[in-house]
Structure 1
Amino acid sequence: MTEGLDRIRLAAWRAYVESSQLLLTQLEDELRGASGLSMADYHVLVLLSEAPGQRLRMGELASRLVFSPSRLTYQISSMQRRGLVTRQPCPEDRRGSEAVLTATGLLTLRDAAPHHLASVRAHLMDDLDDDEVACLTRVFERLGARLRGVRDASTTHATS
């Protein structure tokens, strides 16, 4: 049987779960209200805007978003209908495809970003001091690296 959490760790876990859900819901509601974008839409637009040529292979985009291939296909199709992205054959490998940011998608991101960043500041960052920001960064970068490693290992074993 798995050992339970001590009182302090259980309190930390519950505080994290409850507050992170409240934070994400608040940010999503405000983003949708200001721009009509979901958090997934926004994240896709940000990743594409930062990518060379404002394009990413679908597999890489799915990995960065932690989306299944089918979920990414649905997401990109939805965004394509709204003119935010296109899907094009990969120039290096015609079997693959890339999601490509459109001019409309870039303008939409530029319009949404100031409102979203103000929301992030108001609901999270402005309440933290520099030491707390540094601590959160250390903790979540370490956890992210470990969880990506676990995910990569399970994907490698599943395809072997």
Structure 2
Amino acid sequence: MSSADTHPTDQPGCPSAGGGDGLLPDELRAWMVLLAATGAVEQRLRTVVKETLDVSHDEFLILCLLAGQPRDGLRMTQVADLLGRPKTRLTYQIACLQHAGLVSRTSVCGDKRGVQVALTEKARDRLRETSSLLAGTVRQALSDSVGPDQRAAMCALVPDLEQGADRPASRP
């Protein structure tokens, strides 16, 4: 059975909005809800990403970041900064992705130390092929881990969430 088939009871519970002795303000309780929901998504995605793309979760995050960029990609330093990763660890992950044929590395013109990283067509094709499954995994993990109490906590932190996904947030 894949992790996408895991039942909600198999996952650790998400902290609720209420409860406690008032020690933490609403914003910190909501932050904890967000962290727990993110953890639930990452836990489910790890297995699905490995099964479908044959990359680690951290390598998947690099692919997702590059997928949202222009075709010429980003400098390695930008990738490290945006993902909050040490540059030495990122160098290893990029090497693994390059070995798999999913990213290309090129020198930045006029900067002998600069390295640009971009997705290959192979990576773009694989992301297109698997994006529905991966998005469904995210939706299911969130659905299983975020209930009414957790949603209320998040709405306390980000009031625009109360409007729902189908209505645009109003701008002041």
Residues 125 and 100 from structure 1, CA distance in 2 versus in 1: closer, same or farther, beyond 3 angstroms?
A: same
- The one of 71, 93, 97 equivalent to 1:79 is 97
Residue 57 (structure 2) aligns with: 39
Residue 42 (structure 2) aligns with: 24
Residue 114 (structure 2) aligns with: 96
Q: How does 1:1-160 map to 2 (within 5 A)?
A: 7-8=21-22, 9=24, 12=29, 20-125=38-143, 132=151, 135=155, 138=158
Contact 1:42–1:109, Cα closer than 8 Å, also in 2:
no
Q: Which amino acid aligns with 2:102?
A: L
Q: Percent identity?
A: 27
Q: Measure the CA separation in 2 of the matches of 1:136 and 1:104.
A: 42
Q: Which amino acid aligns with 1:53?
A: R
Residues 138 and 108 from structure 1, CA distance in 2 versus in 1: closer, same or farther, beyond 3 angstroms?
A: same
TM-score (norm 1): 0.66
Alignment length (residue pairs): 132
How much has 1:123 moved relative to structure 2? 1.1
Q: Which amino acid aligns with 1:132?
A: R
Q: Which amino acid aligns with 1:39?
A: H
Q: As a proportion of its length, which structure holds more helix? A: 1
Q: Which amino acid aligns with 2:56?
A: S
How much has 1:21 moved relative to structure 2? 3.4
Q: Measure the CA separation in 1 of the matches of 2:114 and 2:60.
A: 23
Q: Measure the CA separation in 1 of the matches of 2:157 and 2:109.
A: 36
For structure 1, the residue ranges without an aligned partner over 5 or more in a row are 1-5, 140-160
Residues 22 and 46 from structure 1, CA distance in 2 versus in 1: closer, same or farther, beyond 3 angstroms?
A: closer
Contact 2:74–2:116, Cα closer than 8 Å, also in 1:
yes
TM-score (norm 2): 0.62
How much has 1:101 moved relative to structure 2? 1.0
The two structures, once aligned, show a CA RMSD in angstroms of: 3.3
RCO higher in 1 or 2 (8 Å CA, sep ≥ 6)?
2
Q: Measure the CA separation in 2 of the matches of 1:104 and 1:137.
A: 40
